[in-house]
Amino acid sequence: MLLAIVLMCSVLMPTAKADGKHDFYFEASRGDAFYKFFYSTGLSGKLLKKLMVSDERAQRLNHIYPGDKFKIELDENHNLKKIVFAPQNANPIIISYSKQKFRFVTVNIQPTQDITSSTITINKSLIYDAKKAGIEAEVTKLIVDNFSWELNFSRDLRKGDKFVLAWDGEKTPCAMIYVGDRKTIALFAYKNPAGQKKYYTSEGKTLNDSFSFPPLKKYTRISSGYQKSRYHPTLKIWRSHLGTDFAAPKGTPVYATAKGVIKHLATLTGYGNVVYLKHGTEYLTVYAHLAGFKKGLRTGDKVAKGQAIGFVGSTGQSTGNHLHYEIRLNGIHKDAEKFKPSKQSLVPTSAMADFKDHSNHVLSELGIK
């Protein structure tokens, strides 16, 4: 019976139509909203409100996209019996209504073909060994882009470490798993309702971090903002100021705005004592004019979001105690006060059960615990 309903969803008609048995079919177009379909069958706003608070999966009905399909089934007295919601890029949801209660069932229509796998065994480097294993450059880039938030590829990889890629028929993997002597990191693909594919841990989180702002818990004021042209107080010339300056007492702790790897920890003529943090493959943050560095930090070390990395000072070309902070995207300076870096993504709560089931299935097929 369940399969028959799913098959029926695949041939839903493109416009609303009743079939004489109180069954209504809809296909969403741009600008459509579920409540319009619901009301068009004669059902009440009171019942819709009850539906939307009955289960967290009901909130998915507030986010529909062109091509999503619905069947709303009424009984002979024009009372709601069932709603079948068939999104284009997610599993169908069947919502039945009986005895004044809603019941939700998510239908698993994940690809049924066997999971296949490819393995990259590290002997020289990821790029070299991936090419040797026949992995396309696009997929290697996916590995680097995702795992760079947790792995320092120049220091963490050891000979014999592996990247296991699972495939379910698509061009890109359905899972990417790093297996090392000290840890295993597994990422699984999930497509959002718009068809965008990202990789998540088994807990439903992407590895990338969300950035915080500012990098100080306490400061007096922003003494100088991002400017394309500013008169430099020590050089006495007009030049760009591509960062944000925070005036603060000497010794005030400075914190990493996101997890990352120390790319440089150095003393330079202009920046004075400076820390460059690399975040994944796209982002870089800079912390300059420091009085000193947090004890024990070295170039190549991994740091956590909110970890102290240094202290406010006035080293380099500086006229007073302050932190000079920069954020760069693919080498391009951004105005830290206005720029919105990408945030960590989460698998929707309504999809987590199916996501975890699929993740466990992939691990079982690959024999990875």
The whole-number pLDDT of residue 15 equals 38
Instruction: Give the mean pLDDT of the chain.
Output: 87
The whole-number pLDDT of residue 164 equals 95
- Asked if pLDDT for residue 11 goes beyond 50, the answer is no
9 contacts 95 by C-beta, under 8 angstroms? no
State the chain's maximal CA–CA distance in angstroms.
Answer: 85
Residues contacting 188, CB < 8 A, separation 6+? 174, 175, 199, 200, 201, 202, 355, 358, 359, 362
- Asked if pLDDT for residue 253 goes beyond 90, the answer is yes
Which band of pLDDT confidence, cut at 50, 70 and 90, is reported for residue 87?
Answer: confident
Query: What is the phi/psi pair of residue 348, to 5°?
Result: -55, 145
Which band of pLDDT confidence, cut at 50, 70 and 90, is reported for residue 12?
Answer: very low
188 contacts 359 by C-beta, under 8 angstroms? yes
Amino acid (1-letter code) at residue 15: T
Report, as an integer, the average pLDDT of 4-16: 38
Which band of pLDDT confidence, cut at 50, 70 and 90, is reported for residue 109?
Answer: low
- Asked if pLDDT for residue 287 goes beyond 90, the answer is yes
What residue ranges define each of the domains in the chain, with the CATH number in brackets?
2-106 (3.10.450.350), 116-208+347-366 (3.10.450.350), 221-334 (2.70.70.10)
